[in-house]
Chain A
Amino acid sequence: MICAFIGIDSGSEVLQALVNGVINGCGYGLLAVGFALILSVTGRFHFAYALTYALAAFLAAVLERVYGLPFAPAAAAGLATAAVAGVACDTVVYRPLSDRAGSGAMLAVFVASLGIVIAGENALSLAWGPGPRNLTGIGSHSISVAGATLTTLDVVSVVVSVALSGGLWLLLSRSGFGRQIKAVRANAQMSTAIGIDVARVHTAVFAIGSLVGGVAALLYALKYAASPDMGENAVFYALIVTFLAVSSSSPLRLLAVGVGVALVERVASIWLSPQLSTGVVFVLLLAFLSHRSLRLALGGRSLSFNLARRRTIRGAAG
């Protein structure tokens, strides 16, 4: 009776929402893993993540359909392009910009990355049309688990997301290079002081982050479709999950928060239209920002008041 009161048809509807939430959430989490890695290690607000994301899937779809490549090389080419594009954003645009801009650097980088997105997405549309294009990689069929339906592709997506996040976690915590990445993330100045080439770490992180985002894009495109502007929505999710997770150290934590966000979205869609339930996610972001603002107001301070200016130090790749 309670169910009818709040408008749910049956318990299975809730189960389906939960299952969908987990599936989508792993996707959101994976997105955030790539984005958060770049943000936390390099400090760059890499909005052009939206472009590298779309590049991976859209290019793969084009190579598959227009040029007849089989899935595996097409996907590999898409991922490689995404990685190269991500690194290029940093070396060609962000670094010279932040060297020049000094204290206004983060803002200039953000606005520049917006420009990159606009230019890149529309260039893709110009070259191959606005899509959407399907990606036929691996066959997929429906399965039923305890009354909820999903597809084998969904299962693959979840496994890949968890595996990739876990793999990244292993890289960071067990390998020498992973240690260097964590070092740069924690303290870029000390890292330089002990001889770590911070620029090289930045390049690697941009490549890894773009690859992770690219995989998320491929998984999405396999299920739905690929289009040049598919990244815009995706990067918003990446942003939301990254901020809600606050501490961006752990890929697994980001995955969990991603699932949380997706669950909220799915549950909301029981009552709201799909469009509006997406809006709920942005309202979450809005609420987060307003809460931040309120907390600052109560503390008598503001995010724009930094009472001690930071200095530019070479080698800290600021």
Chain B
Amino acid sequence: MLSETSQILSDTVEKIFSDNVTKQCIINSEKGEWPKELWNEIIENGLNLVLVPEALGGVGGSWFDAGILFKAIGKYQAPIPLAENIVAGHLLGLGGIPLPDDSIVTILDGEFSIKDNKLSGISKRTPFGSSATHGVALINDKSSSKVILLSIPKDSISDDKNLALESRSNIDFMDVEILSSSEILFSSDYILKIGALMRSCQIAGGLEFLLDQSVKYANDRIQFGRPIAKFQAIQQELAVLATHVAASGVAADYASSSMDDGCEDLAIASAKSRVDDAVSIGASIAHQVHGAIGFTYEHGLHFATRRLWSWRAEYGSGSYWAKSIGQKAVASGSKNFWPSITTGKI
């Protein structure tokens, strides 16, 4: 059912992650070590270039393709900014700027000012800021809107982390020279929207991991003389988890595919809201089924659940996005409600 490109990307990323994203790799990353070999594999296979136009040496893939990679990041808890680099490639590509060689790019978000081609301002909770060599930002001046690329001075970074101990740095730019810039048109919430798309897909992947682990554990764990999977109480719980995993996968796919169709506002907001609800239910069931062992650092379940708890709040929580579509729906009135669902336009 997948296109050829999608299938190749899916196979490639599964292979790289299953070979390289070991438990030790994640633990080392939590201690602040950069997973060099994993990242090199990604770069060698060009997975960071999926949204870079072919004219700029990229894959020229679709958002649906990118979504496959985003989901894999969540499924394996890959501790690298692949999603952010893919999105950076897209943003720069809009302005005809290629991704710089040998770079680790992050997405900057904050209030910036530009003077004499130099940028100042603070980018807050920048994903993987501590490892990033470059940053991409969208700037709205009075006169123009543009995408810019700059390198990140190491001394401007003050590192912070999310619950999953992924770097979320505050970066204080003071007159940092802009390497490239290009005028493009974008909506004021474009970064927030793409960020929500990327995290929604990652969450869908992470939930898939929770289901996988929980089913395996229930089949292995013996109590009262049989695998706990044989108890109806456990079966019913896992079935509920499965329905939310299925819904999250569809919500994420619909968001990325709607992005390809240029009609993404309802789909992305719905996805982030839907997967946020799924995290509440899914993380709770997965931990319940795992019992005390799943609550230890030694067991790996938390590598996924801590990410899910952070990601659901990043780039707008489920409630933020629910409110945004709720407001639009009530503003356009009940007559237009059903048509907005069938067209995806709100």
Co-assembled chains A and B: no
